[in-house]
Amino acid sequence: MISLKNIAQEFHNGTERNHVLKCINLDIPEGQFITVIGGNGAGKSTLFNIINGNLRPTSGAIFIDGKDVVRTSHSSRAAMISRVYQDPNFGVCPELTIAENMALANARGNWKWLRRAIRKKDIAFFEQKLAEFELELETMLRKKASLLSGGQRQVLTLLMATLQKPRLLLLDEHTAALDPKIAKQVMGITKNLVDNQKITTIMISHNMSDAITYGDRLIMLRGGEIVMDVSGEEKQALTPAELITMFELDA
């Protein structure tokens, strides 16, 4: 469903060239959940920025459903690709209420919808979706997002990102800023959302246990290249200690 062909990214600093990504080739079947790991500077965030259109690669092509979107703008890809960031503040409009934030997400790919007010049936739909998380968020629809905790905001962001099922969900270390207890809860909610809707997902994580536990496939980037690509029993047989040892090779 998604295919990256010979993706390379160079950044120029005066006379020096920094090869952040080097000939990345990656085919992702529909519904697959991939976890991406790698040290700082490995190229993970650059890869995400290229996929969602924030950055045009130096060379290569990106195919979604057989169509090359490498020259398609970030705003045009927004109807297909959702991204959840590490900072819980990035995914919501703080001064809007939960209901207003969800209305924006519900209009993904159909911006003319915003001309209409939030309807009663929309409120009922939002309440139903929020109630599934058992966090009592459905009772807070009139509450501004700025008043929510970091964990609540990240759960709201996750729901907004999947309210209109995207072709691809990008999770950019989305639990890194949360305390361990809340992070575990958010990961459980993430798994349920992805599994129930069969959403094609790529998740960047620095948590080695999560990298092994969640997802169908595990990829490691090092120096802008894919140095490991495992799935199935091979992935489940890995241990956090083994992955940490692999990380030390970057030092």
Select from 130, 85, 76, 131 the least CA-distant residue to 108: 76
Average pLDDT value over all residues in the chain? 89
3-state SS, residue 43: coil
Q: What is the pLDDT of residues 71-117, one digit of tens each?
A: 998 888 888 999 999 888 888 888 889 998 888 888 776 655 555 56
Residue 250, pLDDT above cutoff 60: no
Decide: pTM greater than 0.85: yes
Q: According to the model, what pLDDT value does residue 83 have? A: 93
Q: What is the pLDDT of residues 177-218, one digit of tens each?
A: 889 988 999 999 999 999 999 999 999 998 999 999 999 999
Burial (CB < 10 A; 0-12, 13-18, 19+), residue 190, is buried
Q: According to the model, what pLDDT value does residue 249 have? A: 62
- The pLDDT-based confidence of 15 (bands split at 50, 70, 90) is confident
Q: What is the pLDDT of residues 25-37, one digit of tens each?
A: 999 999 999 999 9
Give the span between the Cα atoms of 82 and 170, in whole angstroms.
6
Widest pairwise Cα distance in the chain = 60
Give the span between the Cα atoms of 123 and 115, in whole angstroms.
16
CA distances from 61 to 4, 8, 171 (A): 6, 9, 21
Paired tokens of 139: 């009772």
